Structure 1
Amino acid sequence: MIELDEIDHKLLRALAQDATQSAGALGRQFGLSQPATWRRIDRLEKAGIISGRELVLDAEKLGFGVTVFLGVKLATKGRVSLQDFERAVSAIPEVQTVEHVLGLYDYRLRVVARDLSDFERVLRRRIMTLPGAGDVEANVLLSEENLPGPLHHG
């Protein structure tokens, strides 16, 4: 575990808000040279604190107006391997994330669709036909706010 100073925390907060900022722009914000800022970011990446800066697409602008969180319980534990289910569900283009969770359901999926009838088609034809898919609970996303989490304070 590496020691983080105040500037590291400020850099992380700034990158959490906008990961596309250049080392030069971040350096100017915190009174560091571009190479010094780049070295800090590189150190945070090598330590695994920053694990890649991803491209986030706006599903709504791409024509996907509905996002649904789906809890899926596997029907026959043991008969279907988790890997088989994960491989099959990952091949569905409308499924954005697959999370193996502890609780009432075995998996939590984030699914995008054009509208509710499109979601129903994806659910019936693609998700309910998955190997081992059992009970399903759907929660339609009404609004979303991204928070920086524990980095926010300080």
Structure 2
Amino acid sequence: MSNDLDKIDRAILAALQTDGRMSNARLAETVGLSETPCARRLKRLENDGYIERYRAMLSRAALGLGVVAFVYVRFAVHDRAVATRFEREILAIPRILSCHNVSGSADYVLQVVARDLDDYGTFMRDQLRSLPGVTSVESSLSLREIKANGGLPLP
């Protein structure tokens, strides 16, 4: 799929990763095209699945979410039905920003936000530890964010 991208396609994708609300006129100017061909390329990139969706990046600070934790979740028994229930419940918890099934000593790595340490502790006690299959949980708290989701590298 990525072999179909030329220099202008990559420039469009890079510009939109920086500013997803960019007008077609500004996007066209940025990549050196007139508006109609730019709009056609953008539509093709969307239809071909290079662009999954557009969304706003919200401020954790403005929303009062001062704690970011990376949580390593382990299961004692690896039962597919239990893992499926765990994953379904994870999807319904908004404070879990991401969940990855991983190799290594943990089964899942979660990125979780909370207002403060008390809020995080309550979440761990009342929600996370009671999820299906969870037998142990280890947290690493972010001291400061060096780089946020800056977009995907383009080939």
Q: Give me the whole-angstrom Cα distance separating, in 2, the residues matched to 1:113 and 1:86.
A: 20
Post-superposition offset of 1:41: 1.1
Identity %: 37
Post-superposition offset of 1:118: 0.9
Please say if 1:12 is aligned against 2:24: no
Cα 1:22–1:93 shift into 2, 3 Å: same
Post-superposition offset of 1:14: 1.0
2:83–2:133 Cα contact (<8 Å) kept:
no
Please say if 1:150 is aligned against 2:153: yes
Counterpart for residue 69 of structure 2: 68
Q: How does 1:31-110 map to 2 (within 5 A)?
A: 31-78=32-79, 80-110=81-111
Q: Give me the whole-angstrom Cα distance separating, in 2, the residues matched to 1:101 and 1:7.
A: 35
| Letter paired with 2:84 | Q
Q: Where in structure 1 do 4 or more consecutive aligned residues deviate above 6 Å?
A: none
Post-superposition offset of 1:92: 2.4
C-alpha RMSD of matched pairs (Å): 1.9
Q: Give me the whole-angstrom Cα distance separating, in 2, the residues matched to 1:137 and 1:18.
A: 36
2:85–2:132 Cα contact (<8 Å) kept:
yes
Post-superposition offset of 1:79: 7.4
For structure 2, list consecutive stretches of 5 or more residues without a partner in the other structure. Answer: none
Counterpart for residue 30 of structure 1: 31
Provide Cα deviations, 1:121-140, integer angstroms capped at 9, x if missing partner.
10111000111112212111
What TM-score do you get using the length of structure 2 for normalisation?
A: 0.87
2:83–2:132 Cα contact (<8 Å) kept:
no
1:80–1:132 Cα contact (<8 Å) kept:
no
Provide Cα deviations, 1:44-69, integer angstroms capped at 9, x if missing partner.
11111121122222222111111111
1:59–1:65 Cα contact (<8 Å) kept:
yes
What TM-score do you get using the length of structure 1 for normalisation?
A: 0.87
Cα 1:106–1:10 shift into 2, 3 Å: same
| Letter paired with 1:100 | N
Aligned residues: 152
SS at match of 2:72: strand
